[in-house]
Amino acid sequence: MRTCITATDSTDKAGEVLHKIPAARLRAFRSTVWRYWKKEGRHDLPWRKTKDTYRILVSEMMLQQTQVPRVIGKYKEFLQAFPTAKALAKAPLSDVLKVWSGLGYNRRAKYLHDAAKILTKNGVHFNKPTGLLKCTGIGPYTEAAVKVFAFNEPDILIETNIRAAYIHHFYSSVLQKTSITDAEILPLAQKAAEGQDPRTWHWALMDYGAHLKRSGVRNNRRSAHYTKQSKFKGSLRQVRGAVLRELGVNGAHSQNEVYSLIRTNKRIVQKALAGLERDGLIVKEKGKWRVS
């Protein structure tokens, strides 16, 4: 899961850790990251071949809680269907959800759809790195990522792979039971980023952290922000997705019809319907549920 924090979030403990780290160690860390990037970096990821703000935003929303291999194909499909923010804004939410289907966490699709409508209103397009925070569901990390990847402006991004890199190199000697916060990592990240190209440095960090995980480094649990993803099969997430697919493909259904189509515990279906309605993904009209 991706998050972003600011310099004001740093702690005294973090400052103490940074003070003890020799400059040579930070330089060695940079060299390691850059060396990996030059040899093994994922240079061909489609969202790394564009500086278009809208396309960067699409990729960032998709990459939240979803692995890169699953995103690649869906990213291309989504942009074929909605090549511009204006095209996305004009599309019905039901069409957006159909294309999004398979990525899960469908609220992200609605947030992206809403953002397109807000940011294209009155001819204002995605031509500035700020303003995204006005949109529901788009937080500081996403706005900072657009700032870095679309405009190459300096900021500090901390997400799961970047955490892995910093914890592995700078916290391996800290007691295993100690939880490392992003606020503690932030001063290190700021210092390491000095003088580096913002866009490429963060790509390199993400790829190097992903490489560490593939190599057997398992330090995510050491992060204070780690949350284990719940099992998907039989979960509320699965039922929510099933309900949306049925309503999107087959149109409006009464609640009893939904029960018949989604053959699972009725209480879970009720909870799914209530949650989807609360998120603005479905509405009930004349006794039938339909996609908003």
Q: What gap in Å lies between CA 65 and CA 195, rounded to an integer?
A: 30
Question: pLDDT tens digits for 237-250?
Answer: 888 888 888 887 77
Q: Where in the chain is the domain with CATH 1.10.340.30?
A: 52-151
Is the pTM value of this prediction over 0.85?
A: no
| Span 236-291 CATH architecture | Orthogonal Bundle (1.10)
pLDDT exceeds cutoff 80 at 276: yes
Question: pLDDT tens digits for 159-217?
Answer: 999 999 999 999 876 655 568 888 999 999 999 999 999 999 999 999 999 999 999 88
Q: Where in the chain is the domain with CATH 1.10.10.10?
A: 236-291
pLDDT band (50, 70, 90) for residue 9: very low
Stretch 80-94: mean pLDDT: 95
| Span 7-44+154-222 CATH architecture | Orthogonal Bundle (1.10)
Q: Where in the chain is the domain with CATH 1.10.1670?
A: 7-44+154-222
Question: What is residue 10's predicted lDDT score, i.e. its pLDDT?
Answer: 41
Q: Which CATH superfamily is domain 52-151 in?
A: Hypothetical protein; domain 2 (1.10.340.30)
pLDDT exceeds cutoff 70 at 5: no
Q: What is the largest CA-CA distance in the chain?
A: 69
Question: What is residue 226's predicted lDDT score, i.e. its pLDDT?
Answer: 64
Question: pLDDT tens digits for 121-161?
Answer: 866 556 666 678 788 888 999 999 999 999 999 999 999 99
C-alpha 211: how far from its chain's center?
19
Stretch 93-99: mean pLDDT: 93
Catalytic residue among 60, 143, 159, 184: 60
Length of the chain: 292
60 is an active site residue:
yes
pLDDT exceeds cutoff 90 at 71: yes
Question: What is residue 231's predicted lDDT score, i.e. its pLDDT?
Answer: 67
